[in-house]
Amino acid sequence: MVGIVDVAELAGVSVGTVSNVINGRTDRMAPATQRRVQQAIVELGYQPNLAARFLKTGVTPLIGILVPSIAYPSWSWLIREIETYAAKKYGYRVLIGNTYRDRNKELEFLKSLVSHGIRSVIIVSSTLSQRIIHDGISDQLIAVSYDRRISKDKIHKIDYVSLDHIETMHIAVGHLVENGHQRIALVTVSGKSSSRMAKIKGFLEASASAALSGSSEIIVANAMDAYGDDEMPQLGRQVAEQLVAREDRPTGIVALNDMLAIGLIVGFQRCGLKVPDDVSVIGIDDLLLSAFVSPALTSLRPPVTEMAQTLVDLIIRRLRDPKIEPQERVFIPSLARRESVAKVS
């Protein structure tokens, strides 16, 4: 490893001087000295040793990301955007931990962040209560939570970013009603997370105020896993197959998320129903596929890139000045249709 002393030696200056140019304290430095140092740096291919720097400064350009599973498309896309933006804008890299919504894995991951000297973490849809996060850990960690409100109290505050699930449901239901649907349903799954609860609440609100002449209902698919993240498509398909048999089945369906929407669409199609002619499905959290699987359909797409940037900006901001008040940022998805972008030869 080539260190700062090697650079100093080659440039014929002291290590202090080298350190100064590396860290931009170059205001009242002789230009000649500066140039010689720069030259030595490139000549030797000097790379700073971040661990040593951390040991001295207590800062390392790394952000932790705690997430149930990056194999789940909504999250993997969000995290990709986070990583890309953090690297480009701030030179930060990310350390990812898949925790499968397992409390022990979550706590272990947070501990290991501290051990690595990391002082910030983006928490995606975790089960952790504020108290747990706080217990012996988060006094060392600046956290921002995505998609889960962590109740505020005086002890500890964190930044908070999410979709406005209530408004989302109003948009979704409104769109179905506008298109003439009178029997509508929300399809969800059994595990309860705060975002799911909010979606249900929003759906009930919206369908109440829509004054449907038909019915509105909530259909809950029973997941085997606690939250069913990996089972979404299968669950959707099974719900579709059961619905097909019903005379009075809803004609407009809002799916809890994208994967569930795909399952529903495919399930209906396999039973011979046309989507969206016979039944409409709106996927929430459209991130990758649902608008594509049924391109004639409108779907609700969250501003993933913008949210990712907000998450990173909030974290960095508070890292630089921990006294800043934590914020809460809420985003609203937009009705969108994916364009076709390819030609075939």
Q: Which of 16, 295 has the CB closer to DNA?
A: 16
Residue 292 within binding range of its own copies, rule CB under 8 A: yes
CB closer to DNA out of 28 and 154: 28
Of residues 30 and 155, the one with the C-beta less far from DNA: 30
End-to-end CA distance of the chain, in Å? 51
- Total residues contacting its own copies by CB under 8 A comes to 70
The amino acid at 37: V
How near is the Cβ of 50 to DNA at its closest, in Å? 8
For residue 61 the two structure tokens come to 């350009």
| Residue 215, binding choice from DNA, its own copies, none, Cβ under 5 to 8 Å by partner class | none
| Distance from C-alpha of 142 to C-alpha of 158, rounded to nearest angstrom | 7
Binding pattern to DNA, positions 186-225, x when CB under 7 A?
Answer: ----------------------------------------
> By CB neighbour count within 10 A (0-12 exposed, 13-18 middle, 19+ buried), where does 105 fall?
middle
Q: Tell me which residues in 46-85 interact with DNA (CB under 7 A).
A: 46, 48-49, 52-53, 55-57
| Pure H helices in 58-193 | 73-85, 103-115, 130-133, 165-178
Judged by beta carbon, residue 276 or residue 333, the one nearer its own copies is 276
Q: Quick one: which segment of 4-12, 28-36, 49-57, 173-181 binds its own copies (CB under 8 A)?
A: 49-57
Token pair, residue 213, equals 């002449």
Residues contacting residue 83 through CB under 8 Å, at least 6 positions apart: 93, 94
- Rounded CA-CA distance 134/126 in Å is 14
Residues forming the site for DNA (CB under 7 A): 1, 3-5, 12-17, 19-20, 22-23, 28-30, 32-34, 46, 48-49, 52-53, 55-57
